[in-house]
A and B are shown apart, each in its own frame.
Chain A
Amino acid sequence: GENVEQHPSTLSVQEGDSAVIKCTYSDSASNYFPWYKQELGKGPQLIIDIRSNVGEKKDQRIAVTLNKTAKHFSLHITETQPEDSAVYFCAADTSGTYKYIFGTGTRLKVLA
């Protein structure tokens, strides 16, 4: 079945450095890729998304890139801050349905 692989599972960076999280999906018909941030004890919050007709999207310190040929997409966070510490999930929609397949999550820790 369809799946989404996410790496790394944990990531520690110094405050001010950049963080990159990568995902690979298997369903070539996927065309929507959201990224969620989940803080402890909370539900996931959408932080950025990208559709398959776009290669890159940026929103202030956050950017997402998509390579449809390779079926890769990545989240880039620049100038990281302690409040960026959380678990980040990528997801891909599935062909013919409204369901998402989620990645396994990345625990980001920004060290002050």
Chain B
Amino acid sequence: GAVVSQHPSWVICKSGTSVKIECRSLDFQATTMFWYRQFPKQSLMLMATSNEGSKATYEQGVEKDKFLINHASLTLSTLTVTSAHPEDSSFYICSVRTQGRGSPQHFGDGTRLSIL
């Protein structure tokens, strides 16, 4: 399966700052990447689908101005949490889909974001 790298793995910052999380597909050119959010002891919640060269598709209830997604190349998608507040603290995970429908998604190891 695809190897997915996320950076940073852990970040702590003050309220009001913006934080950028990178998701890299190391061995596969991904036209589609997914961004998830996971609260402690809960399931994965899809935030948005990141499409290379076009605008991301956000799930209902996810603020696109708060969570900026850029997928400028086939190997890199970034999620920027703008003006972060304590309620944005969470575990953010990206995944890569290697083929069409009916193919597995391969996940990165996530980024733990803590906003003070």
Contacts and interface: CB of A to CB of B under 8 A. Distances in A.
Interface of A: 31-32, 34, 36, 41-46, 49, 51, 89, 93, 97-100, 102-105, 107
Contacts of B4: 43
A41 to B, nearest CB: 7
Contacts of B53: none
Contacts of A44: 44, 93, 107
A46 B102 contact: no
B46 A99 contact: yes
Contact of A31 (B102, B106, B109, B110): B102
A10 B6 CA distance: 29
Interface in B32-61: 32, 34, 41-44, 46, 49
B101 A93 contact: yes
B49 A98 contact: yes
A98 B97 contact: yes
Contacts, number: 55
Interface residues of B, number: 26
Contacts of B83: none
Contact of A34 (B6, B42, B104): B104
Given A44-B44, A46-B1, A103-B43, A32 B107 contact: no
A100 B112 CA distance: 22
Interface in B68-116: 93, 95, 97, 100-110, 112
Nearest to A48: B104
B93 A43 contact: yes
A62 B77 CA distance: 33
Contacts of A97: 101
